Amino acid sequence: MRLYASKKCAMAYLYNKIMSERGKKCFCHLSVKIYSFIVLIFSSGSCFAFQNIQIPMDLSAWVYSGTKVKCTLTHLDTSYGKFYFRSLPDNQLSFEFRLNKKSQNWTSATLSKVSPPWVEPALTIPVTTVRNDNSGQFSFHRDMKALLQDIAQGQWIQVMLSGNESSASETVTIPLVRIHQELKKFQSCRSRLPAMSYRQARTVVLHYTNGQRQLSASQLRELKDMVTYIDVDSRIQHILIDGHTDNTGPSITNLNLSRTRAEDVARVLKKYGVKSGLIQIRAHGSRYPVSSNHTADGRAKNRRVTIRLVRDNEDIVSRKTNQKKKVQ
C-alpha cells in the first residue's frame, strides 16, 4: 500500500510539473500574440487615427482685403493650411479651408463653432458639413452669416476632417483672437458689394404682360440690383436695351410698344445713376421671337426687354446688318 501510494504521489507530482511547464509555454505564446496584435493596431495609420491640432494664439491673426467685387478675411499662413472668409456679389459668403498637406485622403469636413478654452462649459456646435472634391480645399457656404455674428461675440471655429475609415479623423481649432477690427472692415466691405454678379447682370430679361407699358415693382428692384453692378465695373462701355413684342396686333403698333418699353427701362436706369452715354435703345417689334407665337406661353416669352452689358473686349451685333462692331 505504501509503495502504491508513493508511486501515485510521484506520478501526480510529475504530471503537475509537466502541466506547469506547458502552461508557462502556452501563457508566453499567448502573451506574444496579444502584444503583436496591439502593436499592429497602434502602428497602423488608418486604424484609430485621431489628431487634435490647435493653432497657437500668439501665431493667430486675421487680415482684411477687399475690392469693389470681392472681400476676404484671411488667417495668416500656417504650416497646416490656409483659412479665409470670402464674400462676393449676390450675397455669396463662404469659409474656405485649403490643406497644405495631402498625406491623408480626407473625404469630408465639418465646420463647427466652439467656445474659447477659458469658457465653461466647453461647447462644440456643428454648423455645416461638406464633401471633398479631391482638390484639397473645402468650401463652406451654409449659415455663414450667422457664424460671423457668433465670431463677433467671441466664438472660435473648428474644422473636423474625416476619412474613409470611421475612426480616422483630425480636428483643427482656429483661434479668433485679433480678428474683431478686421471683421468690421470685412463686414463693411460686404455691405458695399453689388447685389448681382457679372454673370447675372450681363444679360437681364424683363418679361411683360399683354399690353403692359410700365415696369412692375419687381422689375424696378431687378434694375436697381443691376445698377449696383454697373456702378463698380469700369469696363462696361455700352448698355444695349432691346425692346420686343409678340405678334398680336399691327406691326407698327408692336414696334412703337417695344420702343416705349425700352425707353421706360432707359429712363429708370438713368434715374438710378447710369450715364446716358452708355445706353443704346433698339426697338424690334415682333421681329426676332425667341419662342412660337402660336401659344400663350410662347407669346409671353416674346414680350420682353433685354438689357445687355457690353465690356471693352466685346462686339456689338447690329440687328439691321447682322454684322459685329468692335467696341471702341
Strands 156-162 and 203-207 turn out to be unpaired
pLDDT at residue number 267: 98
Residues in the chain: 328
Fold of 51-191: Immunoglobulin-like (2.60.40)
pTM assigned to the model: 0.76
- The answer to whether 86 and 101 are in contact (CB under 8 A) is no
Q: Give the residue extent of every domain in the chain.
A: 51-191, 198-326
Residue 32 — pLDDT band, cuts 50, 70, 90? very low
* Amino acid (one-letter) located at 32: V
Closest C-alpha to 248, from 258, 238, 259: 258
Give me the architecture of the 198-326 domain, per CATH.
2-Layer Sandwich (3.30)
Mean pLDDT lowest among 54-58, 256-260, 306-310: 54-58
Mean pLDDT of the chain: 84
Residue where the block lists cell 412660337: 292
Mean pLDDT lowest among 24-33, 69-78, 83-92, 143-152: 24-33
Taking the C-alpha atoms of residue 287 and residue 252, their distance in angstroms, rounded to an integer, is: 11
Residue 74 — pLDDT band, cuts 50, 70, 90? very high
Taking the C-alpha atoms of residue 235 and residue 309, their distance in angstroms, rounded to an integer, is: 10
- The SS3 call for residue 303 is coil
